[in-house]
Homo-oligomer: A and B are copies of this chain.
Amino acid sequence: MKAHQVKILINKQVSDRYYLLKVDISSIEEKIEPGQFFNLRCSDQLYPFLRRPISVYKINRYNQTLEFLYLVKGLGTKKLAQLKEGQILDMFGPLGQGFHLQDEYDTILLLARGVGIATLAALAQKASEDNRKVIGILSARSQNDLLSADYLSDMGVEIHKVTDEEGTSDINSVTYLIEEILQEYHIKALYTCGSKRLSRLMQEVARREQLPGEIALEEHMGCAMGVCFACVCDLNDGSTTKSVRVCVDGPVFPLEQVVIS
């Protein structure tokens, strides 16, 4: 991990609330894995002050490009959205532990909500490249926020979209949808990101169906290097609870162990 000064190739609005940022990573030698993230310096100002953690969305080592998909939410991402093609971005990383895809996971189910879609998209990309069957449930406020759906479909992911605006994203509907998918496919592992409510649901499914799974967490960060203990969450392995740091021990954790507050 290191603060890299990379060139911005694209930074454009892709839907009402989302931006796509593409950078040149030819100067980055480290391996970059789905589930990992970079801590971005959104401006050279003192306010926003902290960096912002953003997951890798598309990794293209052939073209040496990396893409991020981000929601414009507060001060930091607003400034990030103002950066222009050709400018230099200071990004610290790659950080954290990525997803684990065991060889035997030939069919996997992803459940992503909101910005979590960006995080799981990188996993879907990798799984599809390995010729695994990927089923993805994408949940968002509106169709407009489901911008990765086509990209994922195109790579062969079976996509199910649920949205608040259509009333299809409530917990019952999603539970029902998961049931159907579990009946249709022999799912080997579950992955989720982006919603506490849906994560609890996935934990239930994992327990009931005895499925392994992983979850990518978000927590407010200070250092993103494991030294400040800002980004902690609890893991419970059945007997003991231990505190872990999202930035270095995660952001990806065993689904069944995470204590969702």
Contact = CB atoms under 8 A, between A and B. Distances in A.
A62 interface: no
Contacts of A47: 45-47
A46 B45 CA distance: 8
A47 B48 CA distance: 11
Interface string A28-48: 000000000000000001110
Nearest to A43: B45
Interface in A19-76: 45-47
Contacts of A45: 45-47
Majority secondary structure of chain A interface residues (helix, strand, loop or mixed): loop
Interface residues of A, number: 3
Nearest to A47: B46
A45 B47 CA distance: 7
A81 to B, nearest CB: 15
Nearest to A49: B46
A43 to B, nearest CB: 8
A47 B45 CA distance: 7
Contacts of A46: 45-47
A69 B216 CA distance: 54
A47 B43 CA distance: 13
A76 to B, nearest CB: 14
A154 B48 CA distance: 48
A131 B224 CA distance: 68
A202 to B, nearest CB: 42
A90 B5 CA distance: 31
Nearest to A45: B45
A2 to B, nearest CB: 26
A83 to B, nearest CB: 15
A26 to B, nearest CB: 28
A248 to B, nearest CB: 31
A47 B47 CA distance: 9
A86 to B, nearest CB: 14
Interface in A152-171: none
A141 B12 CA distance: 47
The 6 A-B residue pairs whose C-beta atoms are closest, nearest first, are: A45-B45, A46-B47, A46-B46, A45-B46, A45-B47, A47-B47
6 contacts: A45-B45, A45-B46, A45-B47, A46-B46, A46-B47, A47-B47
